[in-house]
Structure 1
């Protein structure tokens, strides 16, 4: 067996030892015999210790434990720059949206109120995900640098931001539906005050609905470090209930509702356009008939 093959198997063994419960379950699902694999891991460890070419201090230990685990340094630098630039643009761009709506009186409309809510949730998403994504490029997978509080916050905030964005977009779509399909009623229904109340309700609901993630996020200690995971396993009924409730409430239902609403908006706009064209043609015909009548009377006179 080559050095590369032994090193690959060594990394597999390290992963099995560091997180035996979840990793063993995944391997069993893939058809691996865990008992035989553990025996093979023991043999590999003895083989590595007995071979001078691999156990020699001249061999760079980071070759197996660090460099092979990550992308090359130039790729990590490029990805870090990309993440940083996108985050800066996203955060400051959304802050500008909020400032413009608040500073310019003419921009304080019901529609823009929902856009402000969407901008705030986008800012929170960038602030919560960028540090963790960048850290994953530069630290070991078993090293979580943000602590237990960071694990809870950086798990909770993205769920809060995404779900709030979904509800804000849905509320914005309904507001546009009323404004286009029922313009006379919209003057009394779609007000800035009502929009603020709806947005407040969305955020309060999202804060409480997503709060279980503060408890479910867990900093799990490993043999060679610690990782931020969930307390519930994926096959746990509570996890499945939370997952499918989240999927239905914030993805499936809003998507179906938005499709139906925009279908109705499209029909209303096309129908009104046809009525407008028909009315314009009738007015044109009446105008032409009137001109012909006047010319006839003038000629006979």
Structure 2
């Protein structure tokens, strides 16, 4: 077994542990008693991270099984980039929400609501998708050039 194979399987084991950890945190944070905006932000962030790990695991194992990925490389990189950016935006939103809760405690209940969380989540998904579109188009064009 080569060093490359050993490192790949260590990476896979760490990804599996990460997926299990994020699934457990989603189960805990999804309890009815924890329906605050902060717990929903953390649930959203955990879901983004879990999806990122699952897709990374798929990419790593798909590359082992065959010489070609069943999903084009440009699509996989775009999806992984979009999910990574969504996770970053969610982290920033949690930070801002906690700042509002500490700096303006009387206004926090009006500003930090579940409906505003949904809007921020949707906006972060759309914004990160738009941010990754130029890379997707550029990679798709380079894939077409490399085929011929």
Scaled by the length of structure 2, what TM-score is found? 0.80
Equivalent in the alignment of 1:262: none
Superposition deviation, residue 110 in structure 1: 0.7
Is residue 75 of structure 1 aligned with residue 3 of structure 2? yes
Aligned to 2:69: 146
Aligned equivalent of 1:89: 17
Name the stretch that deviates more: 180-189 or 126-135: 126-135
1:144 CA displacement: 4.9
| 1:144-183 correspondence to structure 2 within 5 Å | 144-147=67-70, 149-183=71-105
1-side partners of 2:21 and 2:118: how far apart? 22
CA distance, structure 1, for counterparts of residue 95 and residue 27 of structure 2: 23
2-structure distance, mates of 1:127, 1:204: 21
Name the CA distance, whole Å, in 2 between partners of 1:217 and 1:173: 33
SS of equivalent to 1:145:
coil
> Residue 155 of structure 1 contacts residue 217 of structure 1 at CA under 8 Å; is this kept in 2?
no
State the Cα distance separating 1:131 from its structure 2 match. Answer: 3.8
Of 124, 136, 139, which residue of structure 2 is paired with 1:214?
Answer: 136
TM-score by length of structure 1 reads 0.43
Change in Cα spacing, 1:191 to 1:167, as seen in structure 2 (3 Å) is same
In the TM superposition, what is the alpha-carbon distance from 1:99 to its structure 2 partner? 2.8
Query: Which of structures 1 and 2 has the larger relative contact order (alpha carbons within 8 angstroms, sep 6+)?
Result: 2
Residues 127/216 of structure 1: CA separation in 2 closer, same or farther (3 Å cut): farther
Q: Residues 214 and 86 of structure 1: is their aligned pair in 2 closer, same or farther, counting only changes over 3 Å?
A: same
Match of 2:33 among 80, 100, 106: 106
After the TM superposition, which parts of structure 1 deviate over 6 Å for at least 4 consecutive aligned residues? none
Greater C-alpha Rg: 1
Q: Is contact 1:156-1:214 (8 Å) kept?
A: yes
Gaps of 5+ in 1: 1-72, 223-301
Alignment of 1:150-299 (within 5 A): 150-218=72-140, 219=143, 220-221=146-147
Aligned length: 144
